[in-house]
Structure 1
Amino acid sequence: MLFPLTTKDFLDRAVEVYADRVAIIDEPDQPAASWGEITYAELGRRARSQAATLDEMGVPVGGRVAIVSQNSARFFCTLFGVSGWGRVTVPINYRLTATEIRYIVEHSDAEVLLIDPELRQLADTIPCKRIFVFGEDDEKIWASDAEPAPWVGDESATATINYTSGTTAQPKGVQLTHRNLWLHAVLFGWQASVNDRDVYLHTIQAFHGHGWGHPYAATNMGALHIMMRRIDGREILSRIEKYGVTYLCAAPAVVTSILDAARTWGGTPPGRGRVRIIVAGAPPATRIIERIRDELGWEFLQMYGQTETTAMLTLNRMRAEWDHLDPSEQARLLGRAGAPALGVRLRINDDGEVLAQSNHNLLGYWKNPEATAAATADNWLRTGDGGRYEGGYLTISDRKKDMIITGGENVSSIDVENALKSHPAVRDVAVIGIPDDKWGELVTALVVLDEGAVATREDLVEHCRPRLAGYKCPKRIEFRDELPRTVTGKLQKFKLRKEFWSALERQVN
């Protein structure tokens, strides 16, 4: 027998086995009325209603439904209501500018756009056949009492298109299939020990690679989902205490905010001996790992992967062989990217770049066969990261792509450079990431002004604001007389980076 693997399987099992169990506690503080507590049976009913409504709208199997929203029960339900019946979810980073969001909606050929109430102004600037605002248009989104048209299921079909910032001027749409998402969620859930006693706090926004697969993995096991709209260290600790949270995922910047909040908590921070935290987005410093384990008493896991790999390629977790080592040495070992997950194959090419094969690597880049061919030549995914693979463990040491990762967000230096170059006073500019304790990397612009031109750091940042998402705007600007270039005019960023990174062993932070 052979049955297709689809994202609907996770919801179907939860509805069958855990129907009366509370599935979601929605974010209480949001512009739309909170859904409060809903059971898995009710989640299943709403997902079916959403799918039936899309039927009535004439959105075909394979049609794209874009969503721009922070975490909420509505967003969570949409992950199943769209792809569970054969359509394609296009989750978009709500922090992008209207211009960037418009590009993604148009490039994906989305037929429906779902918007968070705080972003309702997008409806006036982004053309789409059908636009609905969460909360205000709920009766139109979840309107049908009919059963949705059955979908036979095709595990090779695209389930989501996740747009990722790249080194080119425009983001690329990563096509992930039902098979990609299914295998990844099961694998990650297993390696992270997800079980039916878990309470999962959504500190990763769902647009980030479908929340690293945990909306599926935790649903499959009937775990309780705690929605969190805005990320704040003290609020994270409060919800861990209030709801008995057992695990969460976080970028290093979020970890820093939690540790800062813990110092002023006024007692033992909650979750000691109970919480496990999965960190990814950039390799955390060894001292951060030590603080998580010592000051919080949480278990630390590190994941390495990309949107193109449906998230996880490797996972690093404490193992029995390290029990006799002192905590500093344990933290050092945990600081590596980790061991390959089941079915993942890794190798380092002659240029020092990490290459990967797995059953959950992307199908391709949406409407971009050239980029797909370049990234997957010889059936190996080019990660763009440099590293070492020794003794079954991967260590990331450098980034081959011209990419900055700040607070877990990818920032294309080219995007920032183009924004700055549009200022009339700027003659030349190079944007790099420099090490920063809070953000991992700080978006830094090295600027050469035209002779006789005048512009302050504040002028240049204000010039960038309407052109870039806030997290992409340079946080530090230095003025230079010239920038190093080759005889052919190519910018030598490695020379610029050296003055900031030379004291560190790794060229990522």
Structure 2
Amino acid sequence: MKQMQTTISMRRSSMDLRTWIEDKVSRNHDRVFLIFEGREYTYGEFDRNVNRVANALAGLGIGRGNKVGIILPNIPEHLYIWLGAMKLGAMDVPINPQFKGKLLHDMVDHCGLDALVIDQDIYDDIRGEVGSVNRKIVYAGKAGGVAADGVLCFSSLVKEASGENPPVVDMKGGDVVSFIFTSGTTGLPKAAMLPHTYYIHHAEKWARIMHTSREDRFFCPLPLYHVVRVTGFMTALASEASFVLGRRFSSSRFWDEARETGFNVFAGHFAIYDMLLSMPERPDDRENPLDKASAILPRCLDRFRERFGVDKCYNTFGMTEVGFPCIAALEEGVAQDLCGPPGDDFEVKVFDDADEELPEGTVGEIVCRPKKQDIIFKGYYRQEEKTLEACRNLWFHTGDLGYMEDGNLVFKERRSESIRRAGEFIPIDHTEEVLRSHPQVKDAAICGVQSEIGEQNVKASVVLKDGATLEPEEFAAYCQKHLPKFAVPRFVEFIDELPRTPGTEKVQRYKLRERGIEGAWDLGKH
């Protein structure tokens, strides 16, 4: 990875996130920044809360190079812990609160966390999976809680901590500040190591392209353990704007929340817009403050604009590892999945299987590389071989398909075997391992089938042991107990054997997809 970056002419950025954020605070100290469930916090109040968490963590011995896990919903404390750890030179490792079982255990173990802050509501269910972490801190809301069994209480720690800035730590723009887990179709989700400059660069890029300013108000109801941190929270900071944090996305409440809070900028993902368009029409659909929306697919653009009156819409090609190489301001009538031209910060090409560039209009794998220093990930933590594979021949290989047209990138489709549901890429190996762990199951595989509203549903194809019987309701209950909600199969079919490729014995998922869902048991109807 280091070789990849030093062989390309780049401008080095040395600014760290702490310096960047504290500069924003100093210029906007008394202006409203964070809005959460009716309460407003100024830039100054927000920064003092971050400092309290930083000083509390420092009191536990957390400092430069340490890793702090976060298993929390979308609440202000998630932001305070992330940025509090950052101010100490530590790295935050946010984890999806829905993860459980062996998958969660392996992720925590893989990262070697020095501390972990957990929502009390789920701690009892996962205490076995996080036992390897020495400093466990339970967040129990404003009411606080009683620490037991060596577990610390978040509210007690922070209550006595100072709101002043912690001592300055030597940090550079290229230092790793976060681990963000990326989708993995095989093996563990990979922990992408993101540097300070990554956040600053891509947030400023979005703010510049969308022409946002301190007069804007951003909304983020999507999970903070994803790269939406950049398009939502960090871009609000880059714009010196205000930021509305939502606990979760609700298609039925979205427009009411817009009217109540006044947000006019929303950074979503394509399935969100399908869901909003699927809602029953209302006479007041166009009576809302929203005037900037991303990332929306061109196929939804005209309908979305016409129905909701949103003026400025954007699409992008982006992913955790590289941020956002292409961003397009969409015009009316665009039918294809146009992602825009590469900016001055990236080279983007389309390669064949031999890593040879393809001519315009020819579909191949999308690859990219940065022209500036420290604006992409630093590799996958403790997965050097996967880092080298992804960055072979000095290009990051996205695994996604597309083509170039008149200098613009046009997205075609995701990896053939990936499954995305509810905004999450499903770790296929671990999901199938859970399915096969049922005592009546001999073999099992999952595949993605088309959903009525964007993205995909999960279908499980299950082979039972000889003489075994299993009701689909029982199997679904088992899955719900051991899998995160988004990975639980909606459709279940029992078959005699899985189709496999002779020789390699790999499951032929395309054949499972071709079988469709006719005759499969449907959890959605039970």
* 8 Å CA contact 2:278, 2:453 repeated in 1: no
> Counterparts in 2 of 1:27-426, with a 5 A limit?
27=37, 36-121=39-124, 124-125=127-128, 126-127=130-131, 128-134=133-139, 135=141, 136=144, 137-141=154-158, 143-145=160-162, 147-209=165-227, 211-261=229-279, 263=280, 265-271=282-288, 274-279=290-295, 284=297, 286=299, 288-298=300-310, 299-309=312-322, 311-319=323-331, 327=332, 329-330=333-334, 332-333=335-336, 335-351=337-353, 352-358=364-370, 359=372, 360-400=375-415, 402-426=417-441
* 8 Å CA contact 1:21, 1:222 repeated in 2: no
Structure 1 residues 268 and 349, CA, compared in 2 at 3 Å: closer, same or farther?
A: closer
Compute the displacement of 1:269 (Å): 4.2
Compute the displacement of 1:289 (Å): 2.9
* 8 Å CA contact 2:203, 2:238 repeated in 1: no
Compute the displacement of 1:210 (Å): 5.4
In structure 2, how many angstroms separate the alpha carbons of the residues matched to 1:441 and 1:410? 10
The alignment partner of 2:420 has SS state of: strand
How large is the Cα RMSD of the aligned pairs? Answer: 2.5
Structure 1 residues 210 and 317, CA, compared in 2 at 3 Å: closer, same or farther?
A: closer
In structure 2, how many angstroms separate the alpha carbons of the residues matched to 1:106 and 1:411? 20
In structure 1, how many angstroms separate the alpha carbons of the residues matched to 2:221 and 2:478? 31
In structure 1, how many angstroms separate the alpha carbons of the residues matched to 2:352 and 2:465? 41
- Cα distance per residue 1:113-163 (max 9 Å; x no partner): 112343342674322222223332224136322541211222221100012
The alignment partner of 1:186 has SS state of: helix
1:6 to 16, 24, 35: 16
In structure 1, how many angstroms separate the alpha carbons of the residues matched to 2:227 and 2:33? 21
> Counterparts in 2 of 1:473-484, with a 5 A limit?
473-484=488-499
Compute the displacement of 1:76 (Å): 1.9
TM-score for the superposition, normalised by structure 1: 0.87
In structure 1, how many angstroms separate the alpha carbons of the residues matched to 2:126 and 2:496? 44
Structure 1 residues 185 and 453, CA, compared in 2 at 3 Å: closer, same or farther?
A: same
In structure 1, how many angstroms separate the alpha carbons of the residues matched to 2:79 and 2:282? 31
Compute the displacement of 1:465 (Å): 1.9
* 8 Å CA contact 2:89, 2:169 repeated in 1: yes
Compute the displacement of 1:201 (Å): 0.8
In structure 1, how many angstroms separate the alpha carbons of the residues matched to 2:443 and 2:343? 44
TM-score for the superposition, normalised by structure 2: 0.84
* 8 Å CA contact 1:303, 1:314 repeated in 2: yes
Q: Specify the code of the residue in structure 1 equivalent to 2:284.
A: G
In structure 2, how many angstroms separate the alpha carbons of the residues matched to 1:500 and 1:148? 57
Compute the displacement of 1:349 (Å): 1.8
Task: Give the match for residue 431 of structure 1.
Answer: 446
In structure 2, how many angstroms separate the alpha carbons of the residues matched to 1:300 and 1:17? 29
How many residue pairs are counted as aligned between the two chains?
A: 477
The alignment partner of 1:478 has SS state of: strand
The alignment partner of 1:466 has SS state of: helix
Compute the displacement of 1:482 (Å): 3.8
Compute the displacement of 1:211 (Å): 1.9
Q: Specify the code of the residue in structure 1 equivalent to 2:306.
A: D
* 8 Å CA contact 1:167, 1:401 repeated in 2: no
In structure 1, how many angstroms separate the alpha carbons of the residues matched to 2:228 and 2:63? 22
* 8 Å CA contact 1:50, 1:143 repeated in 2: no
Q: Specify the code of the residue in structure 2 equivalent to 1:493.
A: R
* 8 Å CA contact 2:417, 2:509 repeated in 1: no
Q: Specify the code of the residue in structure 2 equivalent to 1:167.
A: T
The alignment partner of 1:474 has SS state of: coil
Compute the displacement of 1:204 (Å): 2.0
Structure 1 residues 450 and 2, CA, compared in 2 at 3 Å: closer, same or farther?
A: closer
Q: Specify the code of the residue in structure 2 equivalent to 1:336.
A: L
In structure 2, how many angstroms separate the alpha carbons of the residues matched to 1:338 and 1:453? 54
Structure 1 residues 497 and 397, CA, compared in 2 at 3 Å: closer, same or farther?
A: farther
* 8 Å CA contact 2:264, 2:291 repeated in 1: yes
> Counterparts in 2 of 1:489-508, with a 5 A limit?
489-498=505-514
Compute the displacement of 1:265 (Å): 4.0
Structure 1 residues 143 and 403, CA, compared in 2 at 3 Å: closer, same or farther?
A: farther
Task: Give the match for residue 33 of structure 1.
Answer: none
Compute the displacement of 1:87 (Å): 0.9
In structure 2, how many angstroms separate the alpha carbons of the residues matched to 1:447 and 1:149? 57
In structure 2, how many angstroms separate the alpha carbons of the residues matched to 1:81 and 1:4? 20
In structure 2, how many angstroms separate the alpha carbons of the residues matched to 1:448 and 1:397? 33
Structure 2's unaligned 5+ residue stretches are 1-10, 145-153, 354-363, 518-526
Structure 1 residues 285 and 197, CA, compared in 2 at 3 Å: closer, same or farther?
A: closer
In structure 1, how many angstroms separate the alpha carbons of the residues matched to 2:63 and 2:218? 33
Structure 1 residues 142 and 8, CA, compared in 2 at 3 Å: closer, same or farther?
A: farther
* 8 Å CA contact 2:103, 2:430 repeated in 1: no
Identical-residue share of aligned pairs (%): 24
Task: Give the match for residue 31 of structure 1.
Answer: none
The alignment partner of 2:44 has SS state of: helix
* 8 Å CA contact 1:251, 1:408 repeated in 2: yes
In structure 1, how many angstroms separate the alpha carbons of the residues matched to 2:12 and 2:490? 53
The alignment partner of 2:19 has SS state of: helix
Structure 1 residues 375 and 83, CA, compared in 2 at 3 Å: closer, same or farther?
A: same
